[in-house]
């Protein structure tokens, strides 16, 4: 028996597996039917207890080639039912073996419908998973939980080369998903990946053709030094921001962000491309959004959530730059918005042509 206790005092009982320990985190939910391995290894979930709304998790096992980073980044993984006998020709190990190998707590047997409804009604809450009922001291500590510098926890420690190609791109790693790199590699890009706090002078000295700003965890406003660094990079080369990268660019341009009640996490979120006048299904994982009334005059909203009308994309007039809140690299899918990488390549080639 194990216990998930929310900061409002609600207690859910279940069976723990994987690592046997106590852990705190922000409790969030993901509505994807598949892709649990990609969710586990998405660095944007650093410091979070992730609940899957789909009732059966682990049914196709684990293939580490499908991971989006080197290891799971979640604090804990919550589900209704754990599958112990997966069936998939690519399966290398069970979900339980994978979590145990990586010292991550799993919690099964939870009424995830009730938990998700509570989070939707009251908003995201802190929680603690314990092997015995939590003490009052643990509950007080959980209510004041705050993960320290999550971007610095998940970014690469030193720069590295990822691929070869005719277009040279710098990638600022705020907690990147590997499919961002694969998506650019397919488009003939030579990628140099830099740690999140790299001095902008080093990037500018590389004379890159473009700058990729990746996804990552946490409150964007907690990244003051990165925001200041971006102010020195914006406008110097074509740039494309995804998720946290999207938010950090907005803050660097003078806009503001706010926390959503329970965020957008899943692979079935409708987003309207305002220029193409089409709605696409997107993969999302974020708890913050750009405040529309705070956008500078040069910012044009390019994409909107068709669920709640929040900003999902921005283009900056006068700058070779655009950003989106969702995940066009989409691992797991859908792949509806992969065209945005082609848009980025077009901007890079256009800017290169000006200087040839």
The catalytic residue positions are 243, 327, 329
143 token code pair: 């209510």
At 342 the three-state DSSP class reads helix
DSSP 64-97: GGG-SSSS---SEEE-SEE-SS---TT--B-HHH
Query: How far is 237 from 213, CA to CA, in rounded Å?
Result: 12
306 token code pair: 């068709």
Residue 128 to residues 9, 12, 134, 136, 197, Cα–Cα distance (Å): 11, 11, 8, 12, 31
64 token code pair: 């580490």
Q: 278 burial class (0-12, 13-18, 19+ CB within 10 angstroms)? A: exposed
At 209 the three-state DSSP class reads coil
- Residue at token pair 């790299």: 198
- Residue at token pair 């992969």: 338
| Strands, E assignment, the chain | 2-6, 11-18, 23-30, 48-52, 56-57, 76-78, 81-82, 105-108, 125-130, 160-161, 167-173, 189-195, 210-213, 239-242, 257-273, 278-290, 299-305, 311-316, 321-324
Q: Give the DSSP H or E segment for 121.
A: helix 112-122
Query: How far is 223 from 148, CA to CA, in rounded Å?
Result: 11
């Amino acid at each position: 028996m194990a216990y998930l206790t929310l900061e409002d005092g609600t207690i859910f009982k279940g069976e723990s597996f994987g690592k046997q320990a106590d852990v705190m985190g922000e409790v969030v939910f993901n509505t994807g039917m598949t892709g649990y391995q990609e969710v586990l290894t998405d660095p944007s979930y650093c410091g979070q207890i992730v609940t899957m709304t789909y009732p059966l998790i682990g049914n196709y096992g684990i293939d580490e080639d499908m991971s989006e980073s080197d290891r799971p980044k979640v604090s804990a993984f919550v589900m209704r039912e754990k599958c112990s006998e997966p069936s998939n020709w690519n399966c290398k190990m069970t979900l339980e073996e994978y979590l145990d190998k990586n010292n991550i707590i799993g919690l099964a047997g939870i009424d995830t419908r009730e938990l998700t409804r509570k989070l939707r009604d009251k908003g995201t809450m802190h929680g603690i998973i314990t092997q015995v009922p939590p003490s009052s001291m643990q509950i007080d500590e959980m209510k004041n939980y705050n993960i320290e510098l999550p971007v610095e926890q998940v970014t690469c420690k030193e720069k590295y080369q990822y691929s070869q190609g005719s277009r040279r791109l710098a990638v600022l790693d705020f907690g990147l998903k590997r499919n961002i790199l694969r998506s650019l590699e397919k488009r003939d890009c030579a990628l140099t990946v830099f740690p999140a706090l790299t001095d902008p002078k080093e990037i500018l000295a590389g004379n890159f053709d473009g700058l990729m700003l990746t996804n990552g965890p946490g409150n964007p406003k907690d990244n003051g030094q990165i925001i200041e660094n971006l102010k020195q990079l914006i406008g110097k080369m074509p740039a494309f921001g995804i998720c946290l990268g999207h938010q950090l660019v907005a803050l660097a341009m003078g806009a503001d962000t706010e926390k959503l009640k329970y965020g957008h996490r899943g692979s079935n979120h409708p987003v309207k491309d305002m220029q193409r006048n089409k709605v696409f299904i997107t993969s999302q994982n974020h708890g913050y959004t750009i405040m529309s009334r705070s956008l500078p005059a040069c910012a044009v909203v390019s994409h909107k959530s068709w669920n709640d009308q929040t900003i999902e994309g921005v283009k900056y007039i006068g700058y070779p730059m655009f950003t989106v809140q969702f995940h066009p690299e989409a691992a797991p899918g859908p792949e509806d918005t992969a065209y945005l990488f082609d848009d980025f390549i077009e901007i890079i080639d256009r800017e290169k042509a000006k200087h040839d």
